[in-house]
């Protein structure tokens, strides 16, 4: 598999794909090693994670460099590798506090029976991840799954595979990990083989792929934790601070070139402040600098060529249907990389793709509303329900609106806070996902099945219990 470099447009890396047979073999190896891994105490597993943190730190610069080529983002890659180290530290601290299967106790419904409760991890968790934050989304589920005692078969995206080389070195430096955590290289076919071999799936990616994986998992009767796409709305009330809301909306729409699931993609502004809001955000959008010279600038090129095409199609569709362009509007080829400046659109409607389909690019389509009820109704008019934002200087009003939004998380007076806050549990609504939260304590606890040992302490009931006419 030849892999495109998003900065130059050149296919300069070769990915050797694992065959289904190789993936099955890895799964068998993991199952063997996991038996011992599960028997370790939580303190022993934490000690191994500590070792991995040390080896990851050693390879951090190398991984960040590879990630920077994968994504054409140097600063974000440094933040991403640092974020993983933070996540490791967080689970080193939190997992032992959470691993507390309840002590043996008498049953309330059958007092002569003692209940012993065991937590049994899924032996083999398959993790399948996308290209937009390749390292973070590969490890966000992997780390707590390992801490719970699961083995992990991890398949990152074929679009951004270079970082796997450094990551693999960091894993191989920790002998206790090599059996229970194995990387799979490849695309959809490799992903399918992971799904076929696992006992539970953690998938982050698009809705169409998530639906396919969900169907296979249902057929195989294994849980699928699906974290999918979004079309996050922001509601900007008349009393919102204009400086705060335009700064946050622009950063949330255009940060990481809009290639984040929790990017704001639909902006609903009270009509009384619409013109001022548009003027301000357009002025700010025009000041955003591009990293055409990779040593400076704020916004990199689009990573995935197919996505760049979709972004242009959505902009063209909106303009053809009467949208007004204030700035940006074109995906340009600069020295082989595909670049899109922050694009501000008004006069948009829900008949346009840019207001209904995931864009995954730095596009800021703005609509007005007359009443807060209309704003809520527009925000909820979507197949997605990942997250949202509300901007208001009246926090009661903001919370009241947030409570009515059909999404798993609402940032108030900011955008996309779920990319910073990992300890707030949240579920995706609608087609944005299904099953236990990856955030908060549930991110660890969801990897256990609860097993009850029911210990009779009295003489068991006999057949006389069923004697007709007995009391
Ligand atoms: P994608 O669905 O195309 O691919 C994701 C992964 O699935 C890749 O590793 C791919 O190889 C694999 N895959 C593809 N077909 C498969 C199949 N049939 N069986 C098994 N695996 C298969 O998504 P993408 O384009 O890589 O990522 C972008 C999408 O990810 C966007 O929709 C974005 O919103 C979403 N995303 C969601 C979150 C979240 O937390 N909710 C976070 C980041 C990205």
Q: What string of DSSP letters covers 396-430?
A: HHHHHHHHTS-SSEEEESSS-GGGT--SS----EE
Q: Helix-strand-coil percent breakdown of the chain, rounded to 5?
A: 45, 20, 35
Indicate if 21 belongs to the active site.
no
Q: Which atom of ligand 1 is nearest to the CA of 212?
A: 18
Q: Whose CA is nearest to atom 30 of ligand 1?
A: 205
Q: Is 241 helix (H, G, I), strand (E, B) or coil?
A: coil
Instruction: Answer for the pair 407, 383: CB distance below 8 angstroms, yes or no.
Output: no
Q: Whose CA is nearest to atom 17 of ligand 1?
A: 188
Using the mean position of ligand 1's atoms as its centre, give its distance from the Cα of residue 239 in Å. Answer: 38
364: which strand partners?
Answer: 344
What is d(CA 256, CA 263) in angstroms, rounded to the nearest whole number? 9
Using the mean position of ligand 1's atoms as its centre, give its distance from the Cα of residue 341 in Å. Answer: 24
Which DSSP letter does residue 149 get?
Answer: T
Tell me the whole-structure pTM to 2 decimals: 0.97
85: tokens are: 């180290």
Angle between helices 188-197 and 207-220 (to 10 degrees): 30
What is d(CA 11, CA 98) in angstroms, rounded to the nearest whole number? 46
Q: Which atom of ligand 1 is nearest to the CA of 428?
A: 41
Which DSSP letter does residue 465 get?
Answer: G
Q: Which residue is catalytic, options 158, 176, 227, 358? A: 227
Using the mean position of ligand 1's atoms as its centre, give its distance from the Cα of residue 209 in Å. Answer: 6
Q: Is 453 helix (H, G, I), strand (E, B) or coil?
A: strand
Q: What are the two backbone dihedrals, phi and then psi, of residue 468, each rounded to the nearest 5 degrees?
A: -60, 140
Using the mean position of ligand 1's atoms as its centre, give its distance from the Cα of residue 23 in Å. Answer: 19
Q: How many residues does the chain have?
A: 471
Q: Which atom of ligand 1 is nearest to the CA of 261?
A: 34
161: tokens are: 């595979």
> What is the greatest pairwise CA distance in the chain?
91
What is d(CA 438, CA 140) in angstroms, rounded to the nearest whole number? 8
The pLDDT of residue 420 is 94
288: tokens are: 């955003």
The pLDDT of residue 470 is 83
The pLDDT of residue 55 is 98
Whether residue 157 has its Cβ less than 6 Å from ligand 1: yes
Q: Which residue is catalytic, options 150, 217, 261, 340? A: 261
Whether residue 199 has its Cβ less than 6 Å from ligand 1: no
Q: Whose CA is nearest to atom 35 of ligand 1?
A: 205
Whether residue 128 has its Cβ less than 6 Å from ligand 1: yes
Whether residue 397 has its Cβ less than 6 Å from ligand 1: no
101: tokens are: 């299967």
Using the mean position of ligand 1's atoms as its centre, give its distance from the Cα of residue 226 in Å. Answer: 10
Mutate to test the pocket of ligand 1, among 156, 159, 205, 408 (most ligand atoms within 8 A of CB): 205
How far is C-alpha 95 from the geometric centre of its chain's CA atoms? 20
Q: What are the pLDDT tens digits along the chain (471 aa)?
A: 999 999 999 999 999 999 999 999 999 999 999 999 999 999 999 999 999 999 999 999 999 999 999 999 999 999 999 999 999 999 999 999 999 999 999 999 999 999 999 999 999 999 999 999 999 999 999 999 999 999 999 999 999 999 999 999 999 999 999 999 999 999 999 999 999 999 999 999 999 999 999 999 999 999 999 999 999 999 999 999 999 999 999 999 999 999 999 999 999 999 999 999 999 999 999 999 999 998 999 999 999 999 999 999 999 999 999 999 999 999 999 999 999 999 999 999 999 999 999 999 999 999 999 999 999 999 999 999 999 999 999 999 999 999 999 999 999 999 999 999 999 999 999 999 999 999 999 999 999 999 999 999 999 999 999 999 987
Using the mean position of ligand 1's atoms as its centre, give its distance from the Cα of residue 25 in Å. Answer: 24
Q: Which atom of ligand 1 is nearest to the CA of 128?
A: 9
Strands (E), 274-353: 324-327, 331-334, 337-340, 343-346
Contacts of 117 (CB under 8 A, 6+ apart): 101, 102, 104, 450, 451, 452, 453
Whether residue 206 has its Cβ less than 6 Å from ligand 1: yes
The pLDDT of residue 471 is 76
Query: Taking the CA atoms of the chain, what radius of gyration do you get in angstroms?
Result: 25
Q: Which atom of ligand 1 is nearest to the CA of 186?
A: 11
Indicate if 253 belongs to the active site.
no
Q: Which atom of ligand 1 is nearest to the CA of 227?
A: 41
Whether residue 158 has its Cβ less than 6 Å from ligand 1: yes
Instruction: Answer for the pair 318, 353: CB distance below 8 angstroms, yes or no.
Output: yes
The pLDDT of residue 230 is 98
Q: Is 332 helix (H, G, I), strand (E, B) or coil?
A: strand
Q: Is 333 helix (H, G, I), strand (E, B) or coil?
A: strand
């Amino acid at each position: 598999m030849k892999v495109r470099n998003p900065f130059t447009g050149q296919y300069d890396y070769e990915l050797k794909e694992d065959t289904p047979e190789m993936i099955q073999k890895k799964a068998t190896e993991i199952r063997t090693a996991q038996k011992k891994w599960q028997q370790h105490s939580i303190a022993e597993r934490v000690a191994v994670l500590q070792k991995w943190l040390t080896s990851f730190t050693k390879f951090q610069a190398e991984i960040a460099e590879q990630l920077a080529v994968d994504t054409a983002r140097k600063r974000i890659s440094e933040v991403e590798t640092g974020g993983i180290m933070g996540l490791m530290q967080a689970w080193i601290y939190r997992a032992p506090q959470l691993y507390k299967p309840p002590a043996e106790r008498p049953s309330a419904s059958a007092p002569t029976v003692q209940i012993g409760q065991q937590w049994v991890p899924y032996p083999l968790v398959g993790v399948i991840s996308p290209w937009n934050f390749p390292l973070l989304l590969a490890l966000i589920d992997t780390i707590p799954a390992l801490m719970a005692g699961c083995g992990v078969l991890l398949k990152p995206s074929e679009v951004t595979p270079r970082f796997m080389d450094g990551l693999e070195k960091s894993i191989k430096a920790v002998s206790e990990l090599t059996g229970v955590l194995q990387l799979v290289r490849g695309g959809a076919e490799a992903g399918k083989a992971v799904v076929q071999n696992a006992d539970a799936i953690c998938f982050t990616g698009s809705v169409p792929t998530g639906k396919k994986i969900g169907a296979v998992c249902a057929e195989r009767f294994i849980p699928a934790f699906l974290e999918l796409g979004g079309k996050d709305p922001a509601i900007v009330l008349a009393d919102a601070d204009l400086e705060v809301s335009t700064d946050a909306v622009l950063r949330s729409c255009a940060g990481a070139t809009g290639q984040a699931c929790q990017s704001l993609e639909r902006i609903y502004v009270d009509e009384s402040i619409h013109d001022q809001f548009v003027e301000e955000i357009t002025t700010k959008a025009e000041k955003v600098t591009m990293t055409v010279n990779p040593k400076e600038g704020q916004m990199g090129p689009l990573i995935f060529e197919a996505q760049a095409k979709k972004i242009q199609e959505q902009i063209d569709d909106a303009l053809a249907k009467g949208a007004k362009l204030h700035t940006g509007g074109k995906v340009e080829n600069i020295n082989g990389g595909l670049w899109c400046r922050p694009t501000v659109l008004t006069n948009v409607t829900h008949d346009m793709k840019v207001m209904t389909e995931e864009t995954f690019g730095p596009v800021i389509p703005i609509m007005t509303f007359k009443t807060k009820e209309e704003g809520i109704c527009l925000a909820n008019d979507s197949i997605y329900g990942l997250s949202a934002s509300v901007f208001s200087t009246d926090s009661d009003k903001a919370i009241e609106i947030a409570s009515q939004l059909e999404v798993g998380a609402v940032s108030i007076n900011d955008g996309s806070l779920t990319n910073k806050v990992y300890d707030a549990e949240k579920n995706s609504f609608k087609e944005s996902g299904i099953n236990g939260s990856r955030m908060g304590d549930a991110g660890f606890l969801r990897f256990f099945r609860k097993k009850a040992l029911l210990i009779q302490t009295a003489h068991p009931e006999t057949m006389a219990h069923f004697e007709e006419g007995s009391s």
